[in-house]
């Protein structure tokens, strides 16, 4: 088993790792694959124990994983208990937009609970006119503040919801009023975060790894504990970085702005920090496959893409997705700068990635999108159409470029 040495990341010299094997082999793979076909077990074993993850290549696709996903994706059946009456907290911003459509398409009765401050249904690039009209006519809405316990009880008591999808809960105190109002339910499916894990020298993060009580996502951990303590049948999802059309976090958008402007892309440290991106539609499919799944009872799952990629690799993959030349990458030491509270790079300056083996084994799920395919989907259905969440701001870029330029020797 190869183990990453992570101590040099963020100090200007990340390790020049070419390849490594995920630290899960032998009997642990066998346990994760109980009940899985021999063919799939062999594929899983090859993937987790022997496959080299070439991190400098931006197109980190796995043909076998993609083929498996394409063969099984379609619409998830309702075999586990038939049509469900579902309450979704959120569902109008990013992940829930895609998940709600999948659930409605599969025949479930879906009600979105929001504060009612913006339209609940709107057509997205993935919708045809007919599919949008069908979704719009099927989905229901309750306008209510989830933190208002009395209002929730008036709206939810006796409504007969069987399943809750909580897409926007941040603190345990946000969940308690919902549980008190909704009554007995079959399953509570919660969107947590892989940001809860404690930093480790051994990667990728696995679901059983220690968590960080000082994490800025501590509220997610508290929610998982609350659901456990109350004896609720819950499933918690810990995504890594999410990308795709409608992304409200400037992940790929940050790179696309610079690529469109033809600017160099400043990347902290060596650019060899290893991370992981998961497409929003793959995440939505995983959420769907947890519904009524007995294997998902009281379980936590990491969900993301099938492969890992470096910061430099993401920049190159974004350029390829946008049909642009490979960008110029400028590496810098973040400790040399005071950015005045501005965020100079959209990703945390460290190795950050997780194993998705457990979800693949339990949920009969695999990511459909390779990195470049997913970024192309995002570009063509969002940024490439002139839509984005934040205007370009190159102030921190200019600080980096000016300092780097001043250090270059003058030509004789």
Give the per-residue pLDDT at 38. Answer: 37
288-327 pLDDT, tens per residue? 999 999 999 999 999 999 999 999 999 999 999 999 999 9
Give the per-residue pLDDT at 305. Answer: 98
Mark the ranges of the chain whose per-residue pLDDT is less than 70: 1-81, 409-412
Residue 270 CA to residue 47 CA, distance in Å, equals 27
Q: Are the CB atoms for 171 and 320 separated by under 8 Å?
A: no
Residue 409 CA to residue 282 CA, distance in Å, equals 48
Residue 102 CA to residue 281 CA, distance in Å, equals 10
Residue 279 CA to residue 394 CA, distance in Å, equals 26
Give the per-residue pLDDT at 377. Answer: 98
Give the per-residue pLDDT at 409. Answer: 65
Q: Which helix (H) or strand (E) holds 317?
A: helix 311-321
Give the per-residue pLDDT at 208. Answer: 97
Give the per-residue pLDDT at 81. Answer: 59
Give the per-residue pLDDT at 72. Answer: 37
Q: Are the CB atoms for 121 and 152 separated by under 8 Å?
A: no
């Amino acid at each position: 088993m190869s183990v990453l040495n992570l101590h040099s990341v963020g100090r200007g010299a990340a390790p020049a790792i070419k390849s490594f094997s995920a630290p899960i082999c032998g009997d642990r793979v066998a346990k994760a694959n109980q009940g899985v076909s021999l063919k799939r077990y062999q594929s899983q074993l090859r993937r987790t124990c022997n496959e080299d993850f070439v991190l400098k290549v931006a197109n980190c696709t796995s043909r076998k994983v993609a083929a498996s996903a394409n063969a099984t994706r379609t619409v998830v059946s309702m075999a586990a208990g038939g049509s469900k009456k579902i309450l979704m907290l959120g569902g109008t911003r990013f992940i829930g937009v895609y998940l709600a459509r999948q659930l409605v398409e599969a025949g479930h009765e879906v009600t979105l609970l929001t504060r009612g401050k913006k339209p609940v249904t709107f057509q997205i690039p993935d919708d045809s006119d007919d599919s949008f009209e069908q979704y719009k006519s099927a989905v229901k809405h309750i306008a209510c503040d989830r933190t208002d316990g009395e209002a929730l009880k008036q709206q939810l008591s006796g409504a007969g919801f069987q399943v809750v999808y909580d897409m926007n809960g941040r603190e345990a105190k946000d969940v308690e009023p919902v549980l008190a109002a909704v009554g007995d339910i079959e399953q509570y499916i919660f969107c947590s975060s892989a940001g809860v894990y404690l930093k480790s020298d051994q990667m990728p993060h696995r679901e059983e790894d220690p968590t960080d009580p000082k994490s800025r996502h501590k509220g997610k951990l508290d929610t998982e504990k609350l659901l456990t303590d109350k004896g609720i049948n819950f499933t918690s999802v810990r995504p890594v970085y999410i990308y795709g059309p409608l992304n409200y976090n400037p992940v790929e958008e940050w790179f696309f702005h610079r690529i469109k402007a033809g600017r160099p892309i400043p990347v902290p440290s060596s650019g060899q920090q290893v991370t992981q991106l998961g497409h929003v539609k793959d995440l939505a499919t995983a959420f769907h496959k947890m519904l009524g799944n007995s294997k998902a009872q009281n379980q936590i799952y990491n969900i993301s893409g099938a492969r890992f990629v470096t910061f430099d690799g993401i920049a190159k993959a974004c350029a390829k997705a946008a049909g642009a030349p490979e960008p110029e990458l400028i590496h810098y030491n973040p400790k040399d700068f005071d950015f005045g509270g501005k965020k100079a790079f959209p990703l945390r300056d460290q190795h950050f990635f997780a194993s998705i083996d457990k979800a693949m084994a339990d949920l009969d799920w695999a990511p459909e999108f390779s990195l470049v395919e997913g970024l192309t989907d995002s570009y063509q259905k969002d940024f490439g159409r002139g839509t984005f969440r934040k205007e370009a701001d190159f102030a921190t870029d200019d600080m980096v470029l000016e300092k780097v330029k001043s250090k270059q020797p003058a030509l004789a």
